[in-house]
Structure 1
């Protein structure tokens, strides 16, 4: 009778049989010093790893199937990539062009192969100098063996060719050409060999060292993200609102259906008479301006002797399905009036950040039209656009097909904030997507505790009607700079009526609100403008505490005919631009007054709603 006993570990038995061949491959392709598989009889741990991976994935698929038939199905981030369909069609028109470039590509390819492989088999230990450098391939493992050196160098060469081909394509509408360039960059970033287990020597080495434990941990990260519908960048348990972020003391002194109004407690005995109200974008949470005390613009402004208010916008839900741009404009004007009445002052100083700055410009134009411009003593704009002709890479997401898709994703009357997060991640895919695919899913690294990335992942939902109108009327139609082409709250909008003193800050490397686009506000308002160009981008260029000693800023002739002319004659200053802004605001802050009475929210006779940072910022 045949022996029916099964091998204890058929996977290990297979590896025993194939051990010599596999060891030879490993020795050939992995760099010197890499772990060596010596005892294939002890490889049963690999079988256990494979079983864990299979069980985890099958359990997730089972949960997903149950959710699809009756439960609340987790948002699938892959749906968002359907936007790329239009880009792929445009790329096809580029593939048939550039015969001379193709010839050059093949010639460079042959030289690359000859150089890398020739150097690999040359006598001596000296390695050939590789022609292309990229920080994704900085680990020595990418250069220690000719296979991986050739792999990543070929990838970099092909990427250059594809990006160049996208730039040279002819006979395509300029906007489609920009979409093509953007989509091509996204494609080449996605196909990088460091994004895959089999072609990343660093991941292969980690896998051997841990016997696949990194893949088990990485798969758990992936499953968690698929359930959450969002890529995780940081340790979700590392931060608590009001405990170690958004900790500046204050009270919620007013609330409505769209926002809570927070007033911060003074830290000085006297304050400027004219208070400051900050309108952050409702696309994100307000506490980007109040991260840790060492980064907080709000705390710094309070310590500078200002009475500071901020609007904490409500994340949209089905109850906000009819909210449009008019409602946000009314909300900003209402907040101004609430503060004026609360403190008994004639006017306030204002700050509008990003989209809330766009809205602030419209509110200023409406107040001017109504003869109420004196309610605002000054307006500061952080990376805010009013002229969208040069609005940057976000314009790649506004053709009719993409807008229709966004509408289909907003059946409940609001757009889930995870889609906006995916959009912003796509703008910097290498840093905000693929870097984390490698670290989180392949290497199985622990998540870092990073306050800025925590904020970045704390998404807000957007009212669908507002979002659609905003994209069509401003990004596509650029109607805000056309006098009276738009109206809000029954009043036509004409930016040329604005005479309020304005301070405009732009980020030199801003990819969301490009500096050239922000600069154009100086051309559309009538009042005096002060333009400052800050180092870095949309977030770091704004959130740059003076104590950090980082970056720089430029001042110059704000009446220059173009940003290029401004830069040519500008003076560079080291560090943060905040003190420059504070000196500008000091001329518009009025006299000093005691920091008592309602300047101290929540004091005797001053009923308040709750402590800062309030409830709205905590709702998802």
Structure 2
């Protein structure tokens, strides 16, 4: 396949490259090259070897020229984005730092350790081959239920799709309106309950909220109870709406508060729209964290989605089977390859180092399989066709769904550097929802922006003016008017949620009720099942 370019623009890029190349050679000849502002080449060993330093600069210069060529290619925008993604993948893979023969820092380590680093690197490589994935953290350091997901609670309900956890109160009094958390079904819930010092769940319980958590089941190929044929409708009706009913029953509240994270937010909003269409209104407030409802702008993920790909997935998985967790994990890792792939290739294999213990990356490697029919429906109706934004386009068991019918007070959160749910795409939910709504943007990315406990006093967040009764302004206008605040958005959210949680009453340590008797301690057994 040939790619058309404007001859004039191509010549301009070539001339600029030639000029920069001559300047680079001149600096190298006179010993004027400095370390590049790129952490792949930040070790002093690069500066100590002029030939390698020149190679690093030449690589970066060539990469810039290739990216400019992509920008000027005479192709449709979607083709350009796929081309840009492919070029970046190739450039990141071919960095001199990724090869022992062209990485002076790894060579220095090899000499300093008298070859032990290489021997250990080879051992690390074969260990990862056995595990089936690249190690990003010391996985031996963590265990779910022992030092992860240890907020005290009980499983009070389960069905073939999920377990429902109720957490034990940590305050003498609790708000009357409980909170149901719906995490993404493509990941395990304990990203919101890592360790006590960074647990969103524990924070919410400490603020006096009665918290319930959906723990999605991790289906296996050997399952024969029908979960391999589970659909989007099943996740709405037997998942989210069933969880809401159980929380209502246990708490005695006619309306509850609900929070959805990522795909969990998409499921939650869809379930609430379905309930509205059936004349039900079970939720008092809605929180959406890094959630897509309008899939017009899906960021870099858009490069993977087209009719051919979705057709192939429907043929492969539409009637049953599994999308394996490892496939999703690999896809997400290569969205940020330098940070999540090549960094570990260099450190683990070339330098023979062991990755440090990091709870977030342990969770990242502890993935969840997805039922094929659910995934195939999700791909077509969200990423490909964006059907959720069209009133009545999505029909669940004969009932048309309209997200615009949701008039519940809403707290919508997006992360400024999110590469999976761009913050402007998260903000687009503001135009769909019809009730009073508050948009808050946090610093950092998809996960780190969400998991930002107040005690660490890190990062910042932005809050815009009150939008109650007002037309939603464009995202850029919102940001221009927003005020920056230091620290975590968690406290701002807690204050907002308290305003929708009623009065306080005496906390009851007994969990569940006579209809929903606790069966096992949190975090339950579903979350402990490993994807294979």
Name the TM-score class by shorter chain: over 0.9
- Aligned twin of 1:616: 526
- Aligned twin of 1:78: none
Confirm whether residue 101 of structure 1 aligns to residue 9 of structure 2.
no
Distance 1:224 1:401, change over 3 A: farther
Distance 1:180 1:206 in 2: 36
- Aligned twin of 2:295: 388
Confirm whether residue 582 of structure 1 aligns to residue 478 of structure 2.
no
Deviations 1:103-122 (A, max 9, x none): 22122112211221x213xx
Distance 1:426 1:408, change over 3 A: farther
Larger relative contact order (Cα-Cα within 8 Å, sequence gap ≥ 6): 2
Deviations 1:166-211 (A, max 9, x none): 12212x2211111111121111111100000000001111112223
> Root-mean-square deviation (CA), in Å?
1.9
- Displacement after TM superposition at 1:408 (Å): 7.7
- Aligned twin of 1:43: none
Confirm whether residue 607 of structure 1 aligns to residue 517 of structure 2.
yes
- Aligned twin of 1:155: 59
Distance 1:399 1:224, change over 3 A: farther
Q: Secondary structure at the match of 1:226?
A: helix
Distance 1:541 1:274 in 2: 27
- Aligned twin of 1:523: 431
Q: Secondary structure at the match of 1:459?
A: coil
Contact 2:250 2:516 in 1 (8 A): no
- Aligned twin of 1:119: 30
Distance 1:349 1:602, change over 3 A: closer
- Displacement after TM superposition at 1:406 (Å): 4.9
Q: Secondary structure at the match of 2:196?
A: coil
Distance 2:45 2:171 in 1: 56
- Aligned twin of 1:376: 283
Distance 1:405 1:542, change over 3 A: same
Contact 1:130 1:153 in 2 (8 A): no
Distance 1:610 1:337 in 2: 20
Distance 1:401 1:608, change over 3 A: same
- Identify the match of residue 273 of structure 1 among 136, 158, 176: 176
Q: Superposed, which structure 2 residues align to 1:344-423 within 5 Å?
A: 344-373=252-281, 375-403=282-310, 406=313, 413-423=321-331
Q: Secondary structure at the match of 2:245?
A: helix
Q: Secondary structure at the match of 1:503?
A: strand
Distance 2:397 2:496 in 1: 32
- Displacement after TM superposition at 1:307 (Å): 0.5
Deviations 1:370-402 (A, max 9, x none): 1111x1001100000110111111111112444
- Identify the match of residue 595 of structure 1 among 501, 507, 525: 507
Q: Secondary structure at the match of 1:614?
A: coil
Distance 1:95 1:105 in 2: 16
Q: Secondary structure at the match of 2:139?
A: coil
- Aligned twin of 2:191: 288
Question: Which deviates the most, 409-418 or 608-617?
Answer: 409-418
Distance 1:388 1:285 in 2: 23
Distance 2:307 2:515 in 1: 54
- Identify the match of residue 562 of structure 1 among 474, 493, 506: 474
Contact 2:231 2:371 in 1 (8 A): yes
Confirm whether residue 430 of structure 1 aligns to residue 325 of structure 2.
no
Distance 2:454 2:5 in 1: 47
So what's the TM-score if we normalise by structure 2? 0.94
Computing the radius of gyration from Cα coordinates, the structure with the larger value is 1
- Aligned twin of 1:49: none
Gaps of 5+ in 2: none
Contact 2:137 2:362 in 1 (8 A): yes
Confirm whether residue 262 of structure 1 aligns to residue 165 of structure 2.
yes
Q: Secondary structure at the match of 2:64?
A: helix
* Alignment size in residue pairs: 519
- Aligned twin of 1:21: none
Contact 2:6 2:72 in 1 (8 A): no
- Displacement after TM superposition at 1:225 (Å): 1.7
- Aligned twin of 1:443: 351
Confirm whether residue 146 of structure 1 aligns to residue 54 of structure 2.
no
Deviations 1:520-550 (A, max 9, x none): 1111121111111111111111111111101
Distance 2:245 2:459 in 1: 37
Distance 1:105 1:138, change over 3 A: same
Contact 2:35 2:42 in 1 (8 A): no
Confirm whether residue 338 of structure 1 aligns to residue 246 of structure 2.
yes
- Aligned twin of 2:134: 231
- Displacement after TM superposition at 1:354 (Å): 0.3
